[in-house]
A and B are shown apart, each in its own frame.
Chain A
């Protein structure tokens, strides 16, 4: 029973090195019966940006670990993954009254950047450490009650040598197979679903 849901979001896989390699490596397992994980290639599933919310939520319900695989574009996620978030993490389902369907699951970000590790420093042209861009992810996880696992990032994706990409892929697969027995998980705080004050939610008047 696959309890790992991999969501791949890359707007231009044809010109991708890292994510194309990830897809090639992850897909065969996903298609197997009794697979360890299920891979959903969002840009292939929804080329018209019309997300099948019911299908996505059903896939989420089955999973215990949700992995987002995407390149960092403009310091955040690609637009289709953001739309997926907007549509699928619905009020009353993922958060808000009765919205506890995702509570207790793990969320793991596996990202790549074009900039090198050195560029993500106060003296580099990206000016901030990469960790400075994760708070929106962490808070999203917190609001729906998911545990945000430490992201795995590959820097300098455009110029990374083939060997480095292969190593990245192998490492990812190894980690997926060993989850949830990761040393760092033991150090993580148990996750508690965050609650936003009433006024910051869409107002639902009781009829």
Chain B
């Protein structure tokens, strides 16, 4: 018993210490888990003697991951993205794998090892890619979409690869009984058919029945049971557990329980997958790694450049806008978590030996560690390259320093309206957008738009931020928006900032930063709709306008009053209630007075509506 407790203690402690450290260092959680594994494994502190047994358990994390991957894959979404996913995605995966395989075989590596290594190394790290895309707000760009498509294809391709890799090893044994293998194949097909049909017919009613019991933990248990049961079923017929889980996930992707299943299983997946990576880390034979440092470095360089070659060719033909190409390539070159899974499966299927697996895992881990550095280097190098070759490029980074009095950062739906108003009146503005496609599109319509991340100080300088008078922050992403405001206030205090606020909390944050000209992006259009409704209900148009404008002023006064109490929810709620009552009272009083003074038109004063009350209006 105590042994079990101590093991749990060791694993959890290692993860809890290593993962946050890795994240603070900007390396991502997967590296953290690997390091934790190395630290407690036989080649580190040797706290765990039998990593192999833990690996069997932790493999269930991979099964859960594939179930969740399946859940994400709505058939409709897949169909809509079929071209980028199956076209460009498979080109990346199989193109890279083929190239790596060919080079490896040419260098005299045994074909089985070469194949496993090629498939494993061709995979990229979805976790790293998505994190960087989110961090840089690039998900909607062409490069971002490209990365997503390739990552999705890799998720899907992992299933057959994982199913096939063990067969490479036991291929010889299988030839013995042809009849046996026929029966086996038939059983396997029957099980898959059972899962597909059973899933279609039974899963949803079952989940509905369980959900109706209104016991959340039982729903979680049912979700786990479902995945475990399918995994067991698949294993009993000698098929990949992951494939079964993936199938079940796809079957439930369109059900109403998708979100709930996802949130219920996410922590289990996270922890078990973490455990899996810890186990992989424990499995790295450091003696092997230390014996071949040159080989590892060579392998990293070789496989990164081969993959980059394929990706670069893809980026040119897709085509991905010139300015985004470096990000696209760097985000997909490194090896990823699926690589570990493939190597693990191959080791267990005895396709490759422990020494080769250790080397490959070390290579992938090193490539993942290098990604942030590569990203930084490519930003620098690529920007310089683009500037040097500006005549040849069709892209439009800012070349000469700009001197327009206005800079508009973000030229989407919001920034465009601001810009059009300026241009329509013969004024010029320097426009920045981080989406190269958007830049290209607006350029075609004759706008002087430039590509670039407005939250970068050097770019702001070139955009003329030191000379400009006004900076329009029309970026939709709240964090980026605030980052730009901070940057501008710190480095260009002469700039007057005109900011777009997504919502009230964002408005408050801008207000606290001293921004004077803030507009909530939905307020005015919603008020116009409100006016239309008032008019349709029989209120005179001009009266409706007055009411809407009064509401607008009140709403802004409310926000200003509430700003200092941001974070104190109780106080905010009471303030907001009081404000609403105040407005209601005011309008009610006015209505009453309007009733009483109705029918007078020859008075010198318009009186009834706005004037008559103003004397006793609270000030």
Q: Which chain A residues have a beta carbon within 8 Å of chain B's beta carbons?
A: 48, 50-54, 57-58, 86-93, 95, 140, 143, 196, 200-205, 207
Q: Which residues of B contact A143 (CB under 8 A)?
A: 604
Main secondary structure of the interface of A (DSSP, over half): loop
Q: Which residues of B contact A202 (CB under 8 A)?
A: 597, 600, 603, 605, 607-608, 612
Assess whether A53 is in contact with B605, with CB atoms less than 8 Å apart: no
Give CA–CA (A50, B546) in the complex, Å. 8
Q: What are 21 A-B contacts with C-beta separation under 8 Å?
A: A50-B546, A50-B553, A51-B610, A53-B611, A53-B617, A54-B619, A86-B610, A86-B611, A88-B611, A90-B605, A90-B607, A90-B612, A92-B615, A143-B604, A196-B604, A200-B603, A202-B597, A202-B600, A202-B605, A203-B596, A207-B596
Assess whether A91 is in contact with B611, with CB atoms less than 8 Å apart: yes
Contact with A along B590-619 (1 / 0, CB 8 A): 000000110110111111101111110101
Give A48's nearest chain B residue, CB to CB. Answer: B549
Give A53's nearest chain B residue, CB to CB. Answer: B614
Contact of A54 among B607, B608, B614 (CB under 8 A): B614
Contact of B614 among A48, A87, A201, A205 (CB under 8 A): A87
Q: Which chain B residues have a beta carbon within 8 Å of chain A's beta carbons?
A: 546, 549-550, 553, 596-597, 599-600, 602-608, 610-615, 617, 619
- What are the 8 closest A-B residue pairs judged by CB atoms, nearest first? A90-B611, A202-B597, A53-B614, A93-B615, A86-B606, A202-B600, A91-B607, A50-B549
Assess whether B617 is in contact with A54, with CB atoms less than 8 Å apart: yes
**CB proximity of A135 to chain B, nearest CB, Å:** 13
Q: Which residues of A contact B597 (CB under 8 A)?
A: 202-204
Kindly list 9 other residue pairs between chains A and B, CB separation below 8 angstroms, not including A58-B619, A88-B614: A50-B546, A50-B549, A53-B617, A54-B614, A92-B615, A196-B604, A202-B603, A203-B599, A203-B600
Give CA–CA (A95, B599) in the complex, Å. 19
Q: Which residues of A contact B553 (CB under 8 A)?
A: 50, 52
Give the one of B599, B606, B611, B612 with max A CB within 10 A. Answer: B611
Assess whether B612 is in contact with A92, with CB atoms less than 8 Å apart: yes
Give CA–CA (A87, B615) in the complex, Å. 11
Give the one of A92, A204, A207 with max B CB within 10 A. Answer: A92
Give the one of A58, A86, A196 with max B CB within 10 A. Answer: A86
- In the complex with contacts A48-B549, A50-B553, A203-B597, A57-B614 CB distance below 8 A: yes
Q: Which residues of A contact B600 (CB under 8 A)?
A: 201-203
Give CA–CA (A202, B617) in the complex, Å. 19
Give the one of B546, B550, B605, B615 with max A CB within 10 A. Answer: B605
Q: Which residues of A contact B602 (CB under 8 A)?
A: 200
Give CA–CA (A90, B611) in the complex, Å. 5
Give A199's nearest chain B residue, CB to CB. Answer: B602
- In the complex with contacts A87-B614, A90-B612, A202-B612, A95-B549 CB distance below 8 A: no
**CB proximity of A46 to chain B, nearest CB, Å:** 11
Assess whether B610 is in contact with A91, with CB atoms less than 8 Å apart: no
**CB proximity of A64 to chain B, nearest CB, Å:** 20
**CB proximity of B467 to chain A, nearest CB, Å:** 24
Give CA–CA (A188, B590) in the complex, Å. 40
Q: Which residues of B contact A52 (CB under 8 A)?
A: 553
Assess whether A204 is in contact with B611, with CB atoms less than 8 Å apart: no
Give CA–CA (A47, B483) in the complex, Å. 32
Assess whether B611 is in contact with A89, with CB atoms less than 8 Å apart: yes
**CB proximity of A22 to chain B, nearest CB, Å:** 26
Give CA–CA (A160, B613) in the complex, Å. 44
Give A90's nearest chain B residue, CB to CB. Answer: B611
Q: Which residues of A contact B596 (CB under 8 A)?
A: 203-205, 207
Give CA–CA (A126, B611) in the complex, Å. 34
**CB proximity of A77 to chain B, nearest CB, Å:** 14
**CB proximity of B352 to chain A, nearest CB, Å:** 74
**CB proximity of A92 to chain B, nearest CB, Å:** 5
Contact of A87 among B549, B603, B611 (CB under 8 A): B611
Q: Which residues of B contact A204 (CB under 8 A)?
A: 596-597
**CB proximity of A138 to chain B, nearest CB, Å:** 13
Q: Which residues of B contact A91 (CB under 8 A)?
A: 603, 605, 607, 611-612
Q: Which residues of B contact A54 (CB under 8 A)?
A: 614, 617, 619
Give CA–CA (A140, B604) in the complex, Å. 9
Give A85's nearest chain B residue, CB to CB. Answer: B605
Q: Which residues of A contact B550 (CB under 8 A)?
A: 50
Q: Which residues of A contact B549 (CB under 8 A)?
A: 48, 50
Give B609's nearest chain A residue, CB to CB. Answer: A87
Contact of B605 among A51, A58, A89 (CB under 8 A): A89
Give CA–CA (A205, B546) in the complex, Å. 25
**CB proximity of B4 to chain A, nearest CB, Å:** 72
- In the complex with contacts A48-B549, A54-B619, A204-B597, A93-B607 CB distance below 8 A: no
Give CA–CA (A121, B556) in the complex, Å. 51
Give the one of A52, A91, A202, A207 with max B CB within 10 A. Answer: A202
